[in-house]
């Protein structure tokens, strides 16, 4: 793993080389250091006709960071591809690579993707700062009720728990926090992931490698011969993976996985759409958690004002917003917090799922048992002054699966 020297921005291996373009090295390493300094998770390098735009994703939102002359596009792209051990001569096909660096005492893993576009190659770099440490369940920002429900859910000895939400909603972070909480000397935990994002102590982690024949289904079949207690499947992408996961949950294993659905109750429908019989879905599923990440207001520049009409109808008289300051780079936000919509099945809800009843009816029945939608959880965060109306509307549709129990 190469190191970035804090004084001159060069990788130590490059200081001893006469064959590299030092200004471009300084530029690339400067971008990496700056991204880590401001907690960026992604760097986008986008070539256009007259310039190269560099954008950073911070707290889930992209921001323009730098505009470079067009003539830097090729050397900048080549430099990143060399670091990621990609083929610099191949410019017409997409490529993937990885970079491992250290900044101070922080180990950072960077996943690199290149793709040809009209004016060159576009780069996307995903930064995984291993030095920042994994979050615990207590660090996820759940309120007392949500945390109590989550602890009860993962305390089951067997069954299936699904985590849903769009890409970037924090599903992997939540799964890793749960696995850390469950990892004990007397428990055998094995995961199959694509990719493995962080090393988990005491957990056997399998990386999907389709070229070597290691797919989600094949890895799961092998895992079941490894005497597991808990299995984590990075994503249920197809019927075969879902079927093996469901069967494992019905034969004494606790199975955790993710799906792409808009809300927690729809996870049931997604399972059946993939070919799982409703009675099997009902018998295996313990619960589903839909989550979103909302940016939290900067504590140094937040202020209160009268609530907009939409939120007054929800019973709020005032809301908070961020003015923007040096501490938050003028955005008004600093950091993120999760909203966790938890759908927990009991005997009545299982019967409804097994009978194939509409999602709206299942959701209405769950509401009678204390179910809170993402929208309602967001309103609670607004009342606490943790986020703004605009940020809530960015991640959750107004009234989505709200008090009526109907989609809206």
pLDDT for 214-268, tens place per residue?
Answer: 999 999 999 999 999 999 999 999 999 999 999 999 999 999 999 999 999 999 9
158 shares its domain with 263: yes
107: domain CATH number is 3.30.450.90
Give the pLDDT mean for 277-281: 97
Q: Tell me, yes or no, whether 81 lies in a domain.
A: yes
| Closest to 6 (Cα-Cα) out of 106, 128, 104 | 104
114 shares its domain with 30: yes
pLDDT at 94 over 80: yes
Range scoring the smallest mean pLDDT among 76-80, 135-139, 177-181, 285-289:
135-139
pLDDT for 105: 78
| Between 397 and 396, the higher pLDDT residue | 396
265 shares its domain with 204: yes
Q: Tell me, yes or no, whether 404 lies in a domain.
A: no
156 shares its domain with 40: no
Residues 6+ apart with CB under 8 A from 277: none
| The total number of structural domains that make up the chain | 2
Total residue count of the chain as it appears in this document: 408
222 shares its domain with 100: no
Q: Tell me, yes or no, whether 403 lies in a domain.
A: no
124 shares its domain with 14: yes
Task: Report pLDDT digits (tens) over 373-388.
Answer: 999 999 999 999 999 9
* pTM for this model (two decimals): 0.88
pLDDT for 79: 96
245 shares its domain with 314: yes
294 shares its domain with 360: yes
Give the pLDDT mean for 194-204: 92
- Domain encompassing residue 73: 2-132
24 shares its domain with 161: no
What is the distance between the alpha carbons of residues 59 and 41, in angstroms, rounded to a whole number? 8
Q: Tell me, yes or no, whether 351 lies in a domain.
A: yes
195 shares its domain with 290: yes
126 shares its domain with 181: no
Percent of the chain with pLDDT over 70: 92
In contact, 159 and 285? CB cutoff 8 Å: yes
pLDDT band at 144 (very low <50, low <70, confident <90, very high): confident
pLDDT for 13: 42
Bridge partners, residue 313, by sequence: none
Counting beta carbons within 10 angstroms of the beta carbon of residue 248, is it exposed (0 to 12), middle (13 to 18) or buried (19 or more)?
buried
């Amino acid at each position: 793993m190469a190191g970035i020297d804090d004084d001159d921005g060069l990788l130590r291996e490059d200081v001893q080389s006469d064959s590299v373009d030092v200004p471009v090295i300084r530029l690339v390493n400067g971008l990496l250091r700056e991204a880590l300094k401001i907690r960026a998770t992604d760097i986008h390098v986008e070539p256009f006709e007259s310039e190269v735009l560099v954008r950073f994703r911070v707290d889930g939102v992209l921001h323009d960071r730098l505009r470079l002359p067009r003539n830097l596009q090729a050397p900048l792209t080549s430099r990143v591809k060399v670091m990621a051990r990609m083929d610099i001569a191949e410019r017409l096909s997409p490529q993937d690579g990885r970079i491992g660096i250290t900044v101070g005492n922080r180990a950072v893993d960077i996943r690199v993707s290149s793709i040809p576009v009209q004016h060159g190659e576009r780069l996307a770099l995903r930064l995984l700062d291993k030095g920042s440490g994994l979050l615990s369940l207590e660090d996820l920002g759940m309120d007392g009720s949500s945390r109590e429900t989550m602890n009860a859910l993962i305390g089951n000895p067997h069954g299936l728990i699904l985590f849903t939400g769009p890409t970037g909603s924090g599903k992997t972070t939540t799964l890793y926090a749960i696995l850390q909480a469950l990892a004990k000397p007397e428990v055998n935990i094995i995961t199959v992931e694509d990719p493995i994002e962080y090393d988990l102590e005491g957990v056997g982690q399998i990386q999907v490698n389709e070229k070597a024949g290691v797919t989600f289904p094949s890895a799961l079949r092998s895992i079941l011969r490894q005497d597991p207690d808990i299995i984590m499947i990075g994503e249920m992408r197809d019927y075969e993976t879902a079927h093996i996961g469901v069967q494992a949950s019905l034969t004494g294993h606790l199975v955790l996985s993710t799906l792409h659905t808009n809300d927690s109750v729809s996870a049931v429908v997604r399972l059946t759409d993939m070919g799982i019989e409703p009675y099997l879905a009902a018998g295996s599923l313990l619960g589903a958690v839909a989550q979103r990440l909302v940016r939290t207001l900067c504590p140094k520049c937040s202020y209160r004002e009268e609530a907009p009409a939409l939120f007054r109808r929800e019973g709020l008289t005032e809301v908070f917003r961020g003015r923007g300051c040096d501490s938050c780079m003028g955005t008004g936000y600093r950091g993120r917090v999760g909203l966790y919509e938890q759908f927990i099945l009991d005997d009545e809800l299982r019967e409804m799922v097994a009978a194939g009843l509409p999602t709206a009816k299942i959701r209405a029945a769950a509401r009678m048992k204390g179910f809170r939608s993402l929208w309602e959880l967001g309103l609670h965060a607004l009342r606490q002054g943790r986020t703004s109306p605009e940020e809530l509307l960015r991640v959750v549709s107004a009234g989505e699966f709200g008090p009526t129990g109907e989609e809206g």
